Structure 1
Amino acid sequence: MRRTTLAATGIAVTAVLALSGCKSGNEEADAAKTTPPSAQPSQSAGSSAPSAAASDYASAPATDTGGGGGGTAKAGQQFKLGEQAQFPFTYGTTTKGTVALAVTAIEKGDPADLAPFKLGDKVKGMVPYYIRYQVKNVGTTDLAYASVGHVKGHLGDGGAAQELSVIGKFEKCPNESLPKGFTNGKVQAGCVIALAPSADTKVSSAEYWGDPFTLGKGLNWK
C-alpha cells in the first residue's frame, strides 16, 4: 500500500513521499523533500469553512453509544459518525489513560484550500476532506499535552486516502495537543486532512489505528 504524507508549515513546506506497510504504517522510505522559498498561508486560508452540498458533508454529534458508555471497543469495530469508542490510550512512554473517541464529521473541502501550501503538482487534482473528531477523557489520569493522532481517511472503494499533515495553525482544520489539565470529563475537538485523488472520488470513512490498534485493524466510522 502506498501512503503519501505531505507536511505543511506556515513558513515552508516539506513534502515527504513514503512507502508503508498496511500493518503498522510507521515505516517510511524513499523520502523526497522540497522547500519552496515562500509558503506562508494567506490570511483568508483559514477564515471560514468551505461551503459544501449535503451529499459532500456527513456529520453527527458525539454520543455515548458504541463503546463510550463503559465498554471497551474492539479492533475492527464499526461505528456510525458521532458514536463514541472507548479504549485504553497511550501517548509516549509515560502518558496512559482511557478515552472515548468519536469521528463527528467527514467534510468535503475545496481544492483551493490547498493553494496556500504551494504544493503544486503534488496535490494537482486532489480534493481535501476534513475528518473532524472529538476526544473525551473518561479515565482517571491527566492526559495533558498528549496528541491524538493516527486518524486517517478511506475512500469509497476501501482504499486509503492520502494524508496532509499540517505543522502550525490551519483554521479550516485545527489539530492541537490536549491542553494542560485534561482530566476526567474534559473534551477537545480535533481534525485531520485526508486527500481524495480526484473530484470523482470521495473520502467516505475514517479509521483510528493508534495503540492498541494497528492500521487496517483499527476503529472505523462511516
Structure 2
Amino acid sequence: MKPIRNNRRALALAALAAVGALTMTACNDDASSSDTATTPPAAPSAPSASASATGAPSPSGGAITPAAPTSAPAGGAASGSAAAPAPAGSTPAPGTTVKVGDAVTIPFTSGSTSGTIALAVTSIEKGDPADLTSLNLGDKAKGLVPYYIHYKVTNAGSSDLSFTSVNHMKGLLADGTEAQELMIIGSFAKCKSDSLPKGFTNGQSATSCAVAMSPEASKVAGAEYWGDPYTLGKGVNWK
C-alpha cells in the first residue's frame, strides 16, 4: 500500500505546481506584498469592492481579467443594431442601448441591501499605458491601452445605500465584443472606485470609475452594466 500513498502525494504536488503556474506577483510601488492572479476565460464573478464599509483601502495592486469568449458582440444584439431605450420610469430590458451621458433607472442589490438607482456612464476616457506602471503588471499589460469608464450613481429609491458598491461595469470594444477588465485592489488615482458614502439616501449622487483594457489596434467605444437583474452580455449598454 505504501507505493499507492506515494503516487497520491506526487499527484497532489503536481496539481499544486499547475495552480502555481497561473499566479504572478504584481504590486504598487508603495505596497510590495500585493498579489494579482490571471483568470482563465470564464464567466467572471462579481468584482470585489475596493474599500470596506469603514472606508479603509486595501493594499494596492491589479489583475487583468480576459474577456469571456463570445461569438457575438456583448449586449445581446447584432453588430450595428441597438435596442430602443426603455420608456421613462420602467426598468430597461436586457440589451438596451442608450447614449453616453443618459441615465437609466434600475433596481439595485448589494448583499442584503436593495433599492433603486439612476445610473449613467458620463464619459469614456483613453488612458496611457504608462499609467499602469505603478501596478507592476509586466508583460500582462503589453500591447494594451487602459480606458477609464466614468459613471454616476444616484439613489432614486427610499433605501439607504450607504457603503454598498456599484460595480459590474465592463468596457466594450469598437466591434462590440468585451474588453479585458482591470480590477484594482486599493486606490488608483487615474480611476477611483469607492463604495458609496455614508448617508447615501434618496437624491444623493456619487461618481465611480472602471478600467477596461483595449488592444492598441482597437479602442473601448462603449460600456455595459451587467449587475443584477442583468447578466454579462445582456445588460444595459452605453455607446
Would you say same fold, with TM above 0.5? yes
Give, in whole Å, the separation in 1 of the partners of 2:130 and 2:218: 17
Higher helix proportion: 2
Alpha-carbon contact 1:81-1:221 (below 8 Å) kept: yes
Alpha-carbon contact 1:156-1:201 (below 8 Å) kept: yes
Q: CA deviation at 1:196?
A: 0.6
Give, in whole Å, the separation in 1 of the partners of 2:87 and 2:169: 18
Higher strand proportion: 1
- Name the counterpart of 2:12: none
Q: CA deviation at 1:207?
A: 0.2
Say whether residues 1:71 and 2:90 are aligned partners.
yes
User: Residues 107-151 of structure 1, C-alpha deviation per residue, up to 9 Å, x if partnerless?
Assistant: 000110011111110101210000000000000000000000100
User: Residues 194-215 of structure 1, C-alpha deviation per residue, up to 9 Å, x if partnerless?
Assistant: 00122x2101010000100000
1:22-171 maps to which residues of 2 (within 5 A)? 24-26=43-45, 70-92=89-111, 94-171=112-189
Identity of aligned residues (%): 51
Give, in whole Å, the separation in 1 of the partners of 2:122 and 2:200: 20
Give, in whole Å, the separation in 2 of the partners of 1:206 and 1:7: 26
- Name the counterpart of 1:205: 222
Gaps of 5+ in 1: 1-5, 28-38, 42-65
Q: CA deviation at 1:75?
A: 1.1
Q: CA deviation at 1:8?
A: 5.7
Alignment: residue pair count: 178
Q: What amino acid is aligned across from residue 72 of structure 1 in structure 2?
A: T
**Partner secondary structure for residue 190 of structure 1:** strand
Could you list the structure 1 runs, at least 4 aligned residues long, displaced by more than 6 angstroms after superposition: none
Decide which of 199, 218, 221 is 2:235's aligned counterpart.
Answer: 218
Give, in whole Å, the separation in 1 of the partners of 2:157 and 2:103: 14
Decide which of 19, 26, 31 is 2:40's aligned counterpart.
Answer: 19
- Name the counterpart of 1:30: none
- Name the counterpart of 1:175: 193
RMSD, aligned α-carbons: 2.3
When residues 149 and 8 of structure 1 are mapped into structure 2, their CA distance, relative to the original with a 3 A threshold, is farther
Decide which of 213, 221, 225 is 1:195's aligned counterpart.
Answer: 213
Q: CA deviation at 1:67?
A: 5.8
